[in-house]
Structure 1
Amino acid sequence: MSACRALRRHPSRRRTTVLAAGAALAALTLTACGSGKDTSGGGGQTQFVQGTGGVDVAKDRAGRRDAPELSGKTIDGKQLDVAQEYKGKIVVLNVWGSWCSPCRAEAKNLVTVANDYKDKGVEFVGLDTRDPDPAPAQAFEKEFKVPYPSLYDSSGKLLLRFPKGSLNPQSIPSTVFIDRDGKIAARAMKALSEEELRKTLDPLVAEK
C-alpha cells in the first residue's frame, strides 16, 4: 500500500521511469535486430534496402544523406579532415578496434581492396574506437600493413555525429561507403569479404 501511495504522490517520477525503460528497450532492439530490409528512419526521410551480401544501400542517389564532419587526430597523432582531404573522392570508412576479432578477420580484405582501388578515386579511412590508447591500434595497423589512416575515436564521439535514421554505423565492425558528393551511399554492419567490398564499390566508381 505504501508503495502505491508513493507512486500516486509522484506521478511524474513514475512516468519518467516508464519512458526511460521504453527508450532503453528501443535502443536494445535497434542494436540487436537491424533487419536490413526495406527500412526508413528519421521520419521516413531516408530509405534503404538490403543489397548483395547484406550490405544496405540507398534506394537512389537523391535519397542519400550527407555524411557528418569526420575530423580529428589519427592514431599516429596527425590531424585529418576527411571531407577536406578527400573532396571529390569515394570514401570507405571502416569502424574497427584492435580488440575486435571480426575486425582482424576482415583487415586483409580491406587492405587488398584499398590498394586495388586507389587509382579509381577511392580512399579508405579507418575509425578506431574503444581502444583506451593508440598503441594497440598502431600495432594492429603495422601487423596488417594498413596503407590508409585511421581517426582515433576511443569514446565514440565521431560515431555519434552520423544522422539518426541514416545508413549509420551501428556495430563494430561497420563499413560506410561515402560517394563523391560526400553522401552516405551504403553501409555494412559486419566483416566484409573482398568480393562484397568490390560489389559495393563498383557501382559507386561507375557513377558520373
Structure 2
Amino acid sequence: MSTRSRAALLGAVAAAAALTLSACGSGGTSGGGGDTNFVTGNSGIDTVKKGERSQAPALSGRTIDGKTADIADYRGKVVVLNVWGSWCGPCREEAKYFAKVSKAYAGKGVQFVGINTRDTSTTPALAFEKANGITYPSLYDPTGKLMLRFPKGTLNPQLIPSTLVLDRDGKPAARALQALDDTALLKMLKPVLAEK
C-alpha cells in the first residue's frame, strides 16, 4: 500500500470515528469560544436571555412523510426542535415524552418539529414515529446539513439527540444536548412560553 493510500485510509477512518463518537451522545459541552451569551444550568440546559438571542438559521425542506415544512411558518409560536435518529437509543427513550408534551401543548401556542438525521431512508424514521405516537412533522436530514446551519458559538444542536426551544421570534432560547423526559422538557419550554 502506498503512503498516499495509507494516509487517505487513515483519514477516512479518523473521520468515521469522529462521526461515530459524536452520534447519539448523552451530553456535551457548549461550542465556540468567547462570549456566547448563554449559560449552562446544572440540569445541562443552556439558556440565553431574551434580549441576547440570535436568529435561528433557515430550516426547511422535505419531511419524512414526503411533505414540506419550514420553521419560519411557525413564527409567533414557541417551537420545540428535536434532532433525532431512529437508530439512537436515547432518542427512543425520550420519544414518548415528546409525543406526550406535544399533544398536551398543541393548542397552547407551541409547535414541535423534529429533524431526523443519519437515517439512510425514511422507512425506519416513519416506523419510529408511528411506534412512539409522534404526530408532529420531522424534516428529513440524512447528512446533518440542517444542524450545520447553526453558527458555532450559538445554541446549536451538536449531538443526537439535541433539543432547542425557539422563542416566538424564531430565536433559540434554550438547548439540551441529552435525552429529556417530560419534566426536563417542560423545564425548558415553560419559561419561554411564559415570555411576553
TM-score range for the pair, normalised by the shorter chain length? 0.7 to 0.9
Which residue of structure 2 lines up, in the alignment, with residue 9 of structure 1? none
3-state SS in 2 of match to 1:66: coil
3-state SS in 1 of match to 2:154: coil
Distance, in Å, in 1 between the alignment partners of 2:43 and 2:78 is: 20
Q: Percent identity?
A: 59
Distance, in Å, in 1 between the alignment partners of 2:57 and 2:159 is: 17
TM-score, normalized by length of structure 2?
A: 0.83
> What is the CA-CA distance between 1:158 and the residue it aligns to?
0.7
Distance, in Å, in 2 between the alignment partners of 1:138 and 1:41 is: 34
- Pick the aligned partner of 1:119 from 93, 99, 107: 107
Deviation digits for residues 4-50 of structure 1 (CA, Å, limit 9, x no counterpart): xxxxxxxxxxxxxxxxxxxx9xx99xx699445xxx84652x31112
Aligned residues: 176
> What is the CA-CA distance between 1:94 and the residue it aligns to?
0.3
Give the aligned residue type for 1:103. C
Which residue of structure 1 lines up, in the alignment, with residue 40 of structure 2? 50
The answer as to whether partners of 2:95 and 2:132 remain within 8 angstroms in 1 is yes
Q: Which runs of 4+ in 1 moved over 3 A?
A: 31-36, 40-43
3-state SS in 2 of match to 1:109: helix
- Higher RCO (C-alpha 8 Å, min separation 6): 2
Is 1:169 matched with 2:157? yes
Give the aligned residue type for 1:104. R
Give the aligned residue type for 1:48. F
Is 1:74 matched with 2:63? yes
Give the aligned residue type for 1:108. K
The answer as to whether partners of 2:115 and 2:138 remain within 8 angstroms in 1 is yes
The answer as to whether partners of 1:41 and 1:47 remain within 8 angstroms in 2 is no
Give the aligned residue type for 2:57. P
5+ residue gaps, structure 1? 1-23
> What is the CA-CA distance between 1:65 and the residue it aligns to?
1.2
> What is the CA-CA distance between 1:82 and the residue it aligns to?
1.2
Distance, in Å, in 2 between the alignment partners of 1:115 and 1:52 is: 28
Distance, in Å, in 2 between the alignment partners of 1:34 and 1:152 is: 24
5+ residue gaps, structure 2? 1-14
The answer as to whether partners of 2:28 and 2:177 remain within 8 angstroms in 1 is no
Which residue of structure 2 lines up, in the alignment, with residue 83 of structure 1? 72
Q: Quick one: structure 1 residues 180 and 42, their matched pair in 2 at CA, closer, same or farther if it must change by over 3 Å?
A: farther
Which residue of structure 2 lines up, in the alignment, with residue 146 of structure 1? 134
